[in-house]
Structure 1
Amino acid sequence: MATAVETLGKLERRITISFPLTDVRTEVEKRLKVQARTAKAPGFRPGKVPLKMVAAQYGYQIESEVLNDKVGRAFNDAANENNLRVAGFPNIVPKEEAAEGQLAFDATFEVYPEVAIGDLTAVEIETVQADVSEAEIDKTIDILRKQRVHFHTKGEAGEHGDGGEPIAANGDRVTVDFVGAIDGVEFPGGKAEGYAFVLGEGRMLPEFEAATLGLKVGESKTFPLSFPEDYHGKDVAGKTASFTITLQKLEWAHLPEVDAEFAKSLGVADGDLAKMREDIKVNLQREVAGRVKARNKEAVMDALIKVAELEVPKTLIAQDSERLAEMTRQDMAQRGMNVKDVPFPAELFADKAERRVRLGLILSQLVGDNNLQATPEQVKAQIEDFAQSYEDPREVLKYYYSDRRRLGEIEALVLEENVVTYVLGLSKVTSKAVAFDELMGSNAQA
């Protein structure tokens, strides 16, 4: 039996559930008898253990299961009878006062809110667009060349030349020994032998790189180095050390020529440079299209948050915060980080969770009101689009269609795109061109 629904807040509700104690005892006895059929105990054959011994061993567990089942069933029945859309899980606690021979529980929970979406035709949304020019292709080729750089001893003649005068300059790879001391005392991490880095890449502090510039192999230099106040090494942060470096090895960087061999290294079998550039352009256009889509989707989501009015269930925010914390932990662990003893307080993710839940409720309302569900054809088209960048597209199709969860992720993506298309079709849209570099440096959060 359940009492009438009490309203405790805008979304918070409470129901009191009660049922006869005899119902629980009857069900517990019934389950104990079933358990006794297979129960084992020293000195007894299976199924011949006295019921009292079975009760002593399994009674508490079975009683908990019975209570959970009865309370859960009663709560679900009450929620259905009152047409309640329960958000998250209820908080169920025993009621202090109950009628004689009765067990009573208070179930406190939240319900899903009403979502009021304003006039979308009055919403102003700025979208972006970007093009891939020959300059972007050239920049990409330069990046690809740098990724394939190889080093030669500077000053020694070789197939590609000698690299010029054997003096350390920006772009050279240097190998050094160094030792640092503060007030004449060496400190942990301040000493190394055979340490290699490329000058000009900013891996080392500016004073360190400046001192290395101009050295020849075998030469040493002593110089002061001031560690920043926010330096990651807390023991030396904000302090000034005296360093001595010795250049042990000096190499110059040789970038591969943009020729047939370079094209082949990028997967162009016949080494055709025009085909290489076209392949790069296609890949860049695909990347640009993805970034543009993400930016524009974010603009739509921002607009929807502004135009929609709703209360967000705290229960759902808490659940999503926990989920985000666990996802972050797993991601860091997969990257090889030791997160065993690292705390991941769920409250750190509360703002992001609140936005995710709010958007989820808004999108659900829009989809239901306007029949924007993902169709099987749309889902297949999206997977096929993903598959284009893989060697065997059929394996990609198989990957998604063999797992309902993976397929659900694609359906959710298509659903979002349907909402974006719908909103952009109604709202006042202006478009602006953005530079390639600006777009590629952005990190839109869908």
Structure 2
Amino acid sequence: MSSTVRAFPRVAINPESSHPVKIDLQDVTETRKTLAVTLDANEVEAEEKGLLSQFSGMAKIPGFRPGKAPVAIVRKKFAKEIAGELNQRVVSKAYKEGLKEAKVNLINPIDVKEGEIKAGQEAVITFTLDVRPDFKVDSYKGIELEGLSEEVSDNDVDEAIENIRKERAEFSPVEREAQKGDYVKFSHEGTIDGKPISEIVEDKPVYAKMPQTWEEIGSDQGLIPGLGDQLEGLKTGDKKDLEVEFPADFTAEGLQGLKAVYSVELLEVRERKLPEMDEAFFESQQVKNLDELKERVSGWLKNQKAQERRADLRRQISEKLMGSVDFPLPGSLIEVETENAMRQVVTENMRRGIPQEQLEENKEDIHAQSRKNAENRVKLQLILDQVAGKEEIEVTDQDMSQFIFNQAYQSGQKPEQFVKELKKDQNRLRMAQQSVLFDKTLEFLIDESTVKGAESEKS
């Protein structure tokens, strides 16, 4: 049985032969069913008769006026075309009438087994379908949430300005012991109980041995937890064995919870030199003085904190909704979302300069995490879809216009060009409409929630 999501043909049905069909609906899982639809010989023959009439009216056969050629000659001359069109019509009719009779809440058609379709004999077509799970969400209004503070302190502003200076800093080689804030270049090779890490996690050489790598002391962003900070106090040329302990939830499963010894050599120390806050610095920030810079930075931070507050409310309400009910998830939706999540991870990592080889090495981990994220996303989408239906939340033209404007702005396109591309891909358009609907429903739920904590309000 194929698991590929497939769009079945939708063609005109002969109205004379449209009546209830015989079906056999069987459960594969709680969200997947097989639907066997039987069309009797008369129905198949009626479809062929309609086709023959159409072909006869259009066919140009020497010796006969249009529409006057004998049916036997038309059938013989266009046997292949008629058989193909008959197959498509019968499958489409079976699909449409079978769904109508079965009354299933369809999510995706998955597969079709057509059997033999031939005039004068009954046809049995079996569809594999993913259906919407049966669940109910009732208590979704008045959910209690904790709101983050939007207050911006003087310390926040000063720290942000310091970060701006750090971004514009220069790094100069120095001949002294490494200090916090320095960038250091070093080599490392690790062992666990005397065994090279390269033999323990063969598919992740970055944790085993590196001829050179850079790290900022005190940044907590190092590849190997706790290793970089221990380089403080060393100078160029120093060698030392350093002990580290990998967290229980470390990315590389083979290293989780283990203690390792790394032999390191410090190759270079570079000191960060911040720019002076002088006229040239203020000009680069498009302000006249420090007061103007503080005012501008304060505005940025207030806007950022407002966005963080709203995003955190969305996170909280999403988690509470998902925790309020359990139900099986349709496999086809999980597969599609997993592929989308993996594509996003790969694109983002390549944008950050991560080599393709490294992504291939971590392919299994990326897939596992992407699938977990996909399951959560599918569950939330199904819940939001049910809430949207109950509350009659719909996507308006204005909603789509705002979405198009935002997406075009983010991608650097003109809105007209973005719309043109969107119309070319109906699946992409459908996904965009769903995304807008889910966002709109989340915002509705936040507005209906009770926000406590910092700046408590009916958010």
Smaller-chain TM-score bracket? 0.5 to 0.7
The answer for the alignment partner of 2:12 in structure 1 is: none
The answer for the alignment partner of 1:282 in structure 2 is: 299
Please report how far the alpha carbon of residue 391 of structure 1 lies from its aligned counterpart in structure 2 after TM superposition: 12
RMSD after superposition: 5.4
Contact 1:2 1:16 (C-alpha < 8 Å) held by counterparts: no
The answer for the alignment partner of 1:78 in structure 2 is: 98
Please report how far the alpha carbon of residue 117 of structure 1 lies from its aligned counterpart in structure 2 after TM superposition: 3.8
The 1-side partners of 2:273 and 2:100 are apart by 72
The counterpart of 1:330, out of the listed 343, 352, 367, is: 343
The amino acid of 1:362's aligned partner reads: I
- Residue 14, structure 1, aligned to residue 35, structure 2: yes
The 2-side partners of 1:29 and 1:91 are apart by 29
- Residue 168, structure 1, aligned to residue 204, structure 2: no
The counterpart of 1:370, out of the listed 373, 388, 391, is: 391
Cα 1:255–1:33 shift into 2, 3 Å: farther
The amino acid of 1:89's aligned partner reads: P
Contact 2:113 2:125 (C-alpha < 8 Å) held by counterparts: yes
Contact 1:325 1:344 (C-alpha < 8 Å) held by counterparts: no
Q: Which runs of 5+ in 2 are unaligned?
A: 1-18, 61-73, 199-204, 351-355
Cα 1:76–1:261 shift into 2, 3 Å: same
Please report how far the alpha carbon of residue 385 of structure 1 lies from its aligned counterpart in structure 2 after TM superposition: 7.4
Structure 1 runs, 4 residues or longer, greater than 6 Å off: 23-34, 177-183, 229-235, 344-348, 382-387, 389-392, 405-410
Normalising by structure 1, report the TM-score. Answer: 0.64
The counterpart of 1:265, out of the listed 253, 277, 284, is: 284
Q: Deviations 1:187-246 (Å, cap 9, x if unpaired)?
A: 9975747x655444464865676466253x6xx4443345757796989x9665655x36
The answer for the alignment partner of 2:126 in structure 1 is: 106
The answer for the alignment partner of 1:41 in structure 2 is: none
Contact 2:48 2:86 (C-alpha < 8 Å) held by counterparts: no
Report % sequence identity: 16
Equivalences, count: 390
The 2-side partners of 1:302 and 1:208 are apart by 35
- Residue 433, structure 1, aligned to residue 446, structure 2: no
The 1-side partners of 2:277 and 2:313 are apart by 36
Contact 2:47 2:89 (C-alpha < 8 Å) held by counterparts: no
Please list, as runs of the form range in 1=range in 2, the aligned pairs for 1:224-235 lying within 5 A after superposition.
224-226=241-243
Cα 1:3–1:29 shift into 2, 3 Å: closer
Please list, as runs of the form range in 1=range in 2, the aligned pairs for 1:39-438 lying within 5 A after superposition.
66-80=86-100, 84-89=104-109, 91-93=111-113, 101-112=121-132, 116-120=136-140, 123-131=142-150, 132-154=152-174, 166-174=176-184, 190=209, 192=211, 197-201=215-219, 203=222, 210=230, 213-215=233-235, 220-226=237-243, 240=261, 245=265, 249-266=268-285, 268=286, 270-305=287-322, 314=329, 317-334=330-347, 335-336=349-350, 337-338=356-357, 342=363, 352-380=373-401, 397-398=415-416, 401-404=419-422, 412=434, 415-424=437-446, 426=448, 429-433=450-454
Cα 1:8–1:174 shift into 2, 3 Å: closer
Q: Secondary structure at the match of 1:118?
A: coil
Normalising by structure 2, report the TM-score. Answer: 0.62
